[in-house]
A and B are shown apart, each in its own frame.
Chain A
Amino acid sequence: AQSVTQPDIHITVSEGASLELRCNYSYGATPYLFWYVQSPGQGLQLLLKYFSGDTLVQGIKGFEAEFKRSQSSFNLRKPSVHWSDAAEYFCAVGEEGGSYIPTFGRGTSLIVHP
């Protein structure tokens, strides 16, 4: 069964600093990988996704993620964090060729200090 591990429950960064959120997945075949963001009281918004091709994926709001098959990782990065980026971030893995039922990690809460 597929699974996702987000090892950091909370991450605190200063505004303007760089950010990297970690995600490791377990899946036997080629995964579909996703990062979602959830602001307080909101649903999930898709930041970016990887299906195949270039392993460095660009998303919305200045985020990017890199798929590393050898490490089973899909870490999310942003070069300069803004206060409005404070939110909960979820990594998810979906099954290739399936009806797309993603399995989510437990999330990482990003706190941004001024």
Chain B
Amino acid sequence: DAGVTQSPTHLIKTRGQQVTLRCSPKSGHDTVSWYQQALGQGPQFIFQYYEEEERQRGNFPDRFSGHQFPNYSSELNVNALLLGDSALYLCASGSDNEQFFGPGTRLTVL
């Protein structure tokens, strides 16, 4: 049983560009959440998708958007990249009382 998978593993972009990160949830999970983990910090909640709708959102600007597909996989899009967007982006899937995390995508903005 595959766990949560994310692609790509690493990504380098320049300021102002746009990026798309992808996540496949653990088998049987229909809820996907995205987190941003800056260096030396704990993960911060970006948003959560359920039934292809954004269910909850953290304190992130509209430059951060997402999508969930009918097969429950999800994308995180970030527009107009800033240097401060450099971080590890984690995807998690799960139930109401436990989340399973993927290995993350390391985004570097130059």
Contacts and interface: CB of A to CB of B under 8 A. Distances in A.
Q: Which of B31, B55, B98 has the most CB of A within 10 A?
A: B98
Contacts of B56: 99, 101
A36 B44 CA distance: 14
Interface string B13-54: 000000000000000000101000000111111001010000
A53 interface: no
Nearest to A34: B98
Interface in B55-110: 55-56, 58, 90, 92, 94-104
Contacts of B101: 36, 43-45
A106 B45 CA distance: 13
Interface residues of A, number: 24
Interface string A50-70: 010000000000000000000
A100 B44 contact: no
Contacts of A100: 94-99
18 contacts: A4-B42, A41-B103, A42-B103, A45-B101, A46-B98, A49-B98, A51-B97, A90-B42, A92-B42, A99-B31, A100-B94, A100-B96, A100-B98, A103-B45, A104-B42, A104-B44, A106-B41, A107-B40
Interface of A: 4, 32, 36, 41-46, 49, 51, 90, 92, 94, 98-107
Interface of B: 4, 31, 33, 40-45, 48, 50, 55-56, 58, 90, 92, 94-104
